[in-house]
Structure 1
Amino acid sequence: MNDTSLSLFVRVERKWRASETVAGFILADPHGRPLPAFSAGAHIDVRVGEGLIRQYSLCNTDTDRDQYRIAVLREPSSRGGSIGMHDTLEEGDLIQISAPKNHFPLEPARRTVLMAGGIGITPLLCMAERLAGSDAEFELHYCGRTRQAMAFLEDITQAAWADRAHVYIDDEGTQLSVGEVAGPPDPDTHLYVCGPAGFIDHVLSTCRAAGWSSDQLHTEYFAGAAPSAGDSESFEVQVASSGTRFTVPSDKTVYEVLRDNGIEIMVSCEQGVCGTCMTRVLEGTPDHRDLYMDDAEHAANDQFTPCCSRSLTPTLVLDL
């Protein structure tokens, strides 16, 4: 897999244990040059190993051009990304990354509510710094299972905006009441939520039930949908340019089948989060499993993510 967007080489200047399950990394240009600018909510692609690229949010202030700070949760079910970052990458190593990208930007608002679950704190830290620097009205709500598992707690308590940060820890008996904190719908308030899928879904469903509109609710997921019982069904994909058909069995993705037959598609996260592999669909109805497109884009059924999505019809004809 060749990704031409991974155009930057950076050195790991520092690696540290940000919590019992999270490793922090400071990345800098090996020649001391400024890094590309970024905005709050941005992430970078990181080449963890051969054919293995993962996305990590930038959690330092967006005015800092000397370094990028990222944090990586060690996932028990890692397919190589988090384990590679935790166990293989060391201070002094050179790694390949992309320029910053932002699918989770801050929108102008009178009031901003930030809600983080676990490692979802990473993009929201940068947002909090940006909002504090502009004297905007905002609050940060950070939830975790244990104090030891929560990264950047010390940074938050020592921040100039610490009085606007609220921490909720399960084993200490404190819990976030989403409805109470978010309040009634207000067109001048925007809410940003990041973390595990269950946490995000709870926040969004609570706000929607209270009448919040979709354009006020902003999310960033770190993982795509899990396989479902429907995966037992195989289907076919047809390459429109040649008419060649391939069977996609239950234990393989469309991307894997195409790759194994010499048809390369650019991929990155392989979880339906980043949108890198988006492919046009000419015929058939996809079974969307991604977390990149919105409901309207899913309903159009004219594109899908072959890294994770499947088919509701016997055949998908792809614009390849």
Structure 2
Amino acid sequence: MQKTVLDRVEPVAEGVVSLVLRGADGPLAPWEPGAHVDLSLPNWLTRQYSLCGDPADRGSYRVAVRHDRLSRGGSEYVHLFLRAGRTLDVSLPRNNFPLLSAPEYLFVAGGIGITPLLPMLAAAGDSARLVYVGRSEATMPFAAELKAEYGDRVRLHAGGRPDFAALAAELGPDALVYCCGPASMLDAAEAAFPAHRLHLERFRPVVKEFGPDVPFEAHCVRSGRTVPVAAEESLLDALNHAGFRIPSGCREGVCGSCEIGVVGGEPEHRDDIGAPDGRMYCCVSRASSRLDVDL
């Protein structure tokens, strides 16, 4: 964890504030566009937010938080109680949504989904375009800032969604599409853009169906211990109860904070990130037989 001081809280749209977090002990850890951090709030909640500032600025991080009317206590606390001067713990950045090299980019943002795309647009160069969708310009964070900086390379669609099929037809043969926003918009993007070009980041996991959960064992290779995992508990909870302090954030398979190594057995991946070979996200993923894990 990194110690930060909340330097300022600024409204950037209706129901959205920007938080600028200054490193309390010197430079903060480096990051690349698409990265996010875990922010530990004073009400004992941890929430994940995309970094939307300048990666070259090692002195501070910027995130933006929308006040969710169905808040489970995170965004509500930020908007109603969090004030400048507060010391906050912030994780090292993680990046499940990296910007790959391409000659041309189309970025598609919906509402607060603009946050991971802001530094991408700055890094991508003159061949990048942004299509930004929201209920109204007043509810779209950083809209005025984007238009002022990028002009015609930014298209705002307030109150309606653009024709994604038409946007797909305009793309060059090697263009990549990066999209972040509400589930309905991402589903429409998946239907319109070729899968090999499209990169998505979701706020919530896609609903999937799996077979019934069954008990299994996790053998912790480095410690020599074997941890039983009951059918009704997650691997994350079983490991934590056994004394292995595995960090966790979303507990939905979208943030990546609970990643562990797998050295034997076949995990059943249930995350929305796409775990690399030899890794798994133990908050949602499990197994039907013994796993050997790197703990």
TM-score normalised to structure 1 length: 0.77
CA contact (8 A) 1:248 1:254 kept: no
1:16 is aligned to 2:2: no
Q: 1:289 aligned to 2:270? A: yes
Which string of whole-angstrom CA distances, capped at 9 and with x for unpartnered residues, describes residues 98-155 of structure 1? 3433332322322110001121101111122223xx4x21110011233343211221
Q: Per-residue displacement from partner, 1:5-24 (whole Å, max 9, x unpaired)?
A: x1x21211111232233221
Deviation at 1:247, TM superposition (A): 1.5
Q: Confirm whether residue 142 of structure 1 aligns to residue 132 of structure 2.
A: yes
- Cα distance in 2 for partners of 1:77, 1:229 equals 25
CA distance in 2: counterparts of 1:244 and 1:99, whole angstroms: 28
Letter in 2 for 1:28: R
Counterpart for residue 245 of structure 2: 264
Partner residue in 2 for 1:255: 236
2:62 is matched with which residue? Answer: 69
Q: Secondary structure at the match of 1:140?
A: strand
Contact 2:43–2:77 (8 Å) recurs in 1: no
Structure 1 residues 285 and 46, CA gap change in structure 2 (3 angstroms): closer
* 1:67 to partner: Cα distance: 2.7
Between the two proteins, the alignment pairs up a number of residues equal to: 289
For residues 303 and 128 of structure 1, what CA distance do their matches in structure 2 show? 30
Counterparts of residues 143-158 of structure 1 (less than 5 Å) = 143-158=133-148
CA deviations on 1:30-80 (whole Å, 9 max, x unpaired) are: 47x554443322222322247643321121233334432110123344444
Q: Deviation at 1:237?
A: 2.7
The CA deviation at 1:292 is 1.4
Q: CA offset at residue 316 of structure 1?
A: 5.1
| SS at structure 2 position matched to 1:108 | coil
CA RMSD of aligned residues (A): 2.9
Query: What residue is the counterpart of 2:254 in the other structure?
Result: 273
Listed as ranges, the matches of 1:1-320 within 5 Å are: 6=1, 8-30=2-24, 33-49=26-42, 52-131=45-124, 134=125, 136-159=126-149, 161-170=150-159, 174-183=160-169, 186-208=172-194, 214=196, 216-226=197-207, 233-240=212-219, 241-249=224-232, 252-279=233-260, 280=262, 282-283=264-265, 286=268, 288-293=269-274, 303-310=279-286, 313=288, 315=289, 317-319=291-293
| Residue type at the aligned position of 1:147 | E
Whole-angstrom CA distance in 2 between matches of 1:73 and 1:303? 32
SS where residue 230 of structure 2 aligns?
A: strand
> What is the DSSP-based 3-state SS (H/G/I as helix, E as strand, rest coil) of the residue aligned with 1:183?
helix
**Could you say if the C-alpha distance between residues 175 and 223 of structure 1 is closer, same or farther in structure 2, counting changes exceeding 3 Å?**
closer
Structure 2 SS opposite 1:235: coil
Change (3 A) 1:49 1:284: farther
CA distance in 2, matches of 1:222, 1:38: 20
For residues 76 and 166 of structure 1, the distance between their equivalents in structure 2, rounded to whole angstroms, comes to: 28
* Partners of 2:16 and 2:64 within 8 A in 1: yes
Q: 1:25 to 1:244 in 2, by over 3 A?
A: closer
Code of the residue aligned with 1:72 in structure 2: it is V
Cα offset, 1:277, TM superposition? 1.8
Percent identity among equivalent residues?
Answer: 30
Query: 1:109·1:190 contact (CA, 8 Å) conserved in 2?
Result: yes
